[in-house]
Structures are given as structure tokens and as C-alpha cells.
Amino acid sequence: MYLKNVSEYLGFLFVTFLVKRLSVEAASRLGGFVLRAIGPKTRRHRVTLQNIASAFPEKSDKECENIALDMWEFLGRVFSESIKLDVIAREGRVTIDPVSLNALPKDQSFIVAGAHQGNWEVAAIAGSHLNANFTGIYRAFRNPFVDRSVFLVRKPFYPGGLWKKGAQSAVRALRCLKSGGSIAVLADVHDRRGVPGMFFGRPTKSSSFPALAAYVTGRPLFAAEVIRCPDVHFIIRLTEVRFDRSRSKDIAVSEATLLLQSLIEASVRENPGQWLWSSNRWVRG
């Protein structure tokens, strides 16, 4: 396992070396081109096609294949762009939708729950526009060497701290909220202990943490969408997840969690080629 991790890491370093020497646009195009070619040859391609076909039964096999190809290209772009987050931030390639900006609370912390779409890595850059003291929670890579490298790239955009997913990270995030900071999480992954519901017509379980954090702290919860624009620019669109805080905690948190997932689904439907269809999002069996 150690040798495998080292070899993967050396490959990662080589790609990183190449990408850093390209412009943002060239790096994005290259990453998209490579993964659009390689992705369909991987084992995850079959799962990807199955998930797309189940989500869009009205679409033909050709249409599903095109969505899958777009997804692989989008993932390749995300990989390359994420290596150049500092450049993307410096060049002002991330903006916040004006309507969303007006909806954000003034002088109050909040929770942002995003999805694996557009380029989720750039979402934290928006925090610098808001002077938001963001704390982030992320799922670690299996390769510890790669995980450490990616962590160091992400860390500057989370002044409140960046923590691996786990019990302690939740405690730290809540502490951040109560002290006036904000938190950012990805909410479109399967959580076996989460709230049961439907996503694209299939059973799934979704993390209740974003809604729970909003309920217990009284802070507002927003669904975040990263919209990819031409020439590697991005717009962040936020929608408040409103729910009845007067109801019992379990009911209010469940309702808010399901509402958040419905907003994510609606966003994915707008541009299905910009979401991670290769994931195990649904309950098996």
C-alpha cells in the first residue's frame, strides 16, 4: 500500500508541475480533454451511465452518453483548476450573484451547503468577497500524501480552519458558528446515517448536519450553486433554505434537509453535465 501511495503521489506531483506552468484556461482545457478521453474507459463509466439513465428515463442512450462525457470533461477541468486556485482567486474569476449577495445576512454568520458541480473547490474563494471567516469540512483522499497536498492548496481559503469529516469536525464547525464564523460543506453525498428521502426519484440518505447546525445555532442556511461560465469564470448563486424553527428539532431538521436536496436536484437538472454522476449517491439494493 505504501509503494502504491508513493507512486500515485509522484504521478500527482508530475501533473501538478505541468499544470502550474500553464495559464488557467490552458490547464482547464487540458484537464477536460484528458479525462473526457480516459473517463469512459474506466469502471466508473458504467455506473455513471446507469445513474444518468435512472435520473432521466426520457433521454436516449446517446443523450445519456453525452451527459457522461460532459461530466468527465468537467471533472478533468475541476482537477486542473483546483491546482490553480490561488491564480483563480487573484485574477477575480469568481463572483457572487448580486441577488444572492443581497440575500446574505449582514454581520451574521451562516451555513453554506454546496454540491459537486461547476467547480465546488472555487466556492470558498467567494468567502474573501464577504469577509466571511469560513470553516470547511471535507472528505479526505485515501492517499495520505495526495490528501496533504490538496489540503495545503485549500487551506488559505478557510481562515476559520479546514477539518476532515468526522465527529470532531462537526463540533469545531458548530463552535465556529457560535463565535461568529461561517461554515461551508458539501451536501450531495450519501450518508448512511442521514435523513431518508428521494433524489432523482431514487431512495437516498442525506446528511442532516447543515440543517442541524442551522437549527441549533439559529444561523441561516443557504444552498450554494457554482455556475461555470466561459473562459474559466464562475458565479456563485445562493438560495436560502427556509424552514419552521418552531417545530420540533427532528421534524424541522428533516424538512430542511429534504428541501436542501430538492434545491440541489433542481440545480443539477439545469446542467446535468456539471455534476458528479459517478458517485454512489443512492441507497444500494
At residue 111, the pLDDT reads 93
Query: Which residues constitute the domain of residue 183?
Result: 2-274
How far apart CA 124 and CA 98 sit, in angstroms, is 17
Model confidence at 285: pLDDT above 80: no
Task: For residue 230, give the DSSP letter.
Answer: T
Q: Flag whether 280 is in a domain.
A: no
Residue 106 lies inside a defined structural domain of this protein: yes
pLDDT on residue 240: 94
For residues 73-88, give the mean pLDDT: 95
- Rounded to two decimals, the pTM is 0.92
Question: Is 150 part of any domain?
Answer: yes
In a domain, 121, yes or no: yes
Q: What is the pLDDT of residues 42-67, one digit of tens each?
A: 999 999 999 999 999 999 999 999 99
pLDDT at 137: 84
The stretch 150-159 carries a mean pLDDT of 87
pLDDT band per the 50, 70, 90 thresholds, residue 181: confident
Number of domains in the chain: 1
Confidence tier at 37 by pLDDT (50, 70, 90): very high
Average the pLDDT over 14-31 and give the result. 94
Q: Quote the pLDDT of residue 169.
A: 83
Q: Residue 157: is its pLDDT beyond 60?
A: yes
Task: Tell me whether residue 284 is in a domain.
Answer: no
Per-residue confidence (pLDDT) for residue 275, from 0 to 100: 97
| 118 found inside a domain | yes
Domain-located, residue 7: yes
Q: How far apart are CA 130 and CA 104, in angstroms?
A: 9
Assess if residue 138 is contained within a domain: yes
Beta bridge partners, 137, equal 163
